[in-house]
Amino acid sequence: MYFDPRYARLQVVRQFRQFSDNAGISRDIREDDPGFRAVKMFCFSDTAEPIRTMLAALKDAGYPYEAIDRGRGGWEIVPAGCTKAGGIEMIREELGLPLSACYAFGDGPNDLAMLEHVPNSIAMGNAPEDIQRKCAFVADRPENDGIAKALRSLKLI
């Protein structure tokens, strides 16, 4: 994860930084570092207008991205057309598996394309109601070992 130093004083940025430091997924680099590659961004805005402006500027610069509203002012910015459903398809084809053999766990709007793609969709217990209704199975919450419980219930382990 890359953290713009201009926003280091914001509490939410400090929380994300602490999480990524603890998980071992952050490193300090500058925008002019040849190793800097922004593929996915997480932004905060109380309204969608700055996000739309940023997406338009990215598109004009040749970088088509789309935004996923994660709630509470958080926006996930990802390359347009790149979805978790597409990732499942790539792996499924590589392994020669039928779609019926694919399972997906998710809990948010960024998981929706994937959950709608597979017949064996599993919403985590912390997922919003609208996502839970679209899934074939609802697991317990992650902090209650929801994935392991679901895999046992579905007789996958």
Domain boundaries in the chain? 5-79, 84-153
pLDDT tens column, 13-67? 788 788 888 888 777 666 677 766 667 788 888 889 999 998 998 898 888 899 9
Is pTM beyond 0.75? Reply is no
- At 52-109, the pLDDT tens digits run 998 998 898 888 899 988 777 888 888 888 889 999 999 999 999 999 999 999 998 8
CA distances 125 to 84, 86, 92, 137, Å, are 20, 24, 26, 10
- Fold of the 84-153 domain: Rossmann fold (3.40.50)
For residue 19, which of 1, 34, 31, 42 has the smallest C-alpha distance?
Answer: 1
